[in-house]
Amino acid sequence: MRVTYIGHTAQLSGGELALARMLPALTGVEPRVVLAEDGPLVARLREDGICTEVLPMGEAARHLRRAEVRPGRLPLAALVGSVQATWRLARRLRSERPDLLHTNTLKAALYGGVAGRLAGVPVVWHLRDRIAPDYLPRPAVWMVRLAARALPVAVIANSSATLATLRPGIHTRRLDTVVASPIPSVPPRSSRPRDGQPFTLGLVGRLAPWKGQDLFLRAFAMSFPDTDARARVVGSAMFGEDDWVQSLRDLVVDLGIQKRVDFVGFTTDVAAEYARFDVFVHASLIPEPFGQVVFEAMAAGVPVVAPEAGGPGEVVTDGVDGLLYQMGDVEDLASRMRTIAADAGLRARLGEAGRRRVDDFTPDKVASQVMEVYTNVLARHRQRRVQR
């Protein structure tokens, strides 16, 4: 089965990491990845023996922000770049004739979906973003929902919460499936007390306003005003959000906790960071489509505190394999932090239960579910061709 995978970015963000983890686990597939830029993902895929090509897209189109997607206000350079990229991709698909086209990002779903239709190749969207006004401008929401009726023959969503925002009931002929993102096995964090080390709470992810690093820091200051507890913020800004990083550094000074907060920056060895955490905290201010880092922490045996909405709210059972709090509520988050900090037995129970819970999301199991989607799509495609 020859499958071409399309992505607009080669940075190692959540969706790109999920793709890199899934492809080596697929059996019976000859994968080819086409990206719109060069970057770390290209090197990682090639190291794993995945055929990867860069088909450049104009910078204006590649860097178009979702807030700019409004009727009559789309930058001309971005529009031209998108059309050119779509046409080049369609020509490539016509010449190579893959069995399926699998789009890995929201931008790729749009230009890749059109290119797939032009080339006569069945398109599978992998939806990793919520199609809702709290994440996209309202015109973009309606544009994506409309495109979802015309472009893909199947949609794979990373959670039921994500799929629900696409309003799947409006198009019954499309195959819609929920498949979690793959979580690799992570060396379990030692259960022994870290002698001489202060109690540490950590947060991992891209530094951006909606990711809630400020909420985490405020809750930390509220929960541990007079202790040696430490906070670690792991991650960096990725899409022109450097001002946000500076605002976080200013915030810890205002809160008087600058000596107990470590800004780690980007790291390729996230497992080493999980080993330093006594508790992992997730603080997004809008529902996460999936929340990959939450489940990575669980795989490492780190007890998690996460919002009750979105992907984490679907997977984590409060008090069983993690603690949930009301999203965006700094006092509720602070209360959960104090609860878990005060009870070592609770931390041990949650950590062990969390590891068992994410056994359902191994790359092999995820790849098997995706293969089932491919098989069903191709069977339906062949049947329609016979009928025609």
> How far apart are alpha carbons 40 and 251 in whole angstroms?
31
Cβ proximity of 314 and 304 under 8 Å: no
Superfamily of domain 200-360: Glycogen Phosphorylase B; (3.40.50.2000)
Which fold does the domain 2-182+362-387 belong to in CATH?
Answer: Rossmann fold (3.40.50)
Q: 136: which residues sit within 8 A by CB, 6+ positions away?
A: 66, 69, 129, 144
Cβ proximity of 281 and 333 under 8 Å: yes
- Phi (first) and psi of residue 175, to 5 degrees: -85, 120
DSSP one-letter code for 75:
-
Alpha carbons within 13 angstroms on the beta-carbon side of residue 320 total: 7
- How far does the chain reach from its first CA to its final CA, in angstroms? 23
Q: Of all helices (H) and strands (E), which one includes residue 318?
A: none
The interaxial angle of helices 14-22 and 40-47, nearest 10 deg, is 10
> How far apart are alpha carbons 288 and 285 in whole angstroms?
9
> How far apart are alpha carbons 212 and 220 in whole angstroms?
12
> How far apart are alpha carbons 388 and 379 in whole angstroms?
14
DSSP one-letter code for 361:
G
Burial class of residue 76 (count of CB atoms within 10 Å of its CB; 0-12, 13-18, 19+):
exposed
**What is the value of pTM for the model shown?**
0.87
CB burial string 81-101: b at 16+ within 10 A, e below: bbeebbebbbebbeeeebbbb
Residue by residue, pLDDT tens for the chain (388 residues) are: 999 999 999 988 889 999 999 999 999 999 999 999 999 999 999 999 999 999 998 877 776 666 666 655 666 777 787 888 999 999 999 999 999 999 999 999 999 999 999 999 999 999 999 999 988 888 889 889 999 999 999 999 999 999 999 876 655 578 999 999 999 877 666 554 455 689 999 999 989 999 999 999 999 999 999 899 999 999 998 766 778 999 999 999 999 999 999 999 988 888 889 999 999 999 999 999 999 999 999 999 999 999 999 999 999 999 999 999 999 999 999 999 999 999 999 999 999 999 999 999 999 999 999 999 999 999 988 887 777 7
Mark out the alpha helices in 97-129 (DSSP H runs): 106-119
- Give me 156's structure tokens: 């794979």
Q: Of all helices (H) and strands (E), which one includes residue 286?
A: none
Q: Where in the chain is the domain with CATH 3.40.50.2000?
A: 2-182+362-387, 200-360
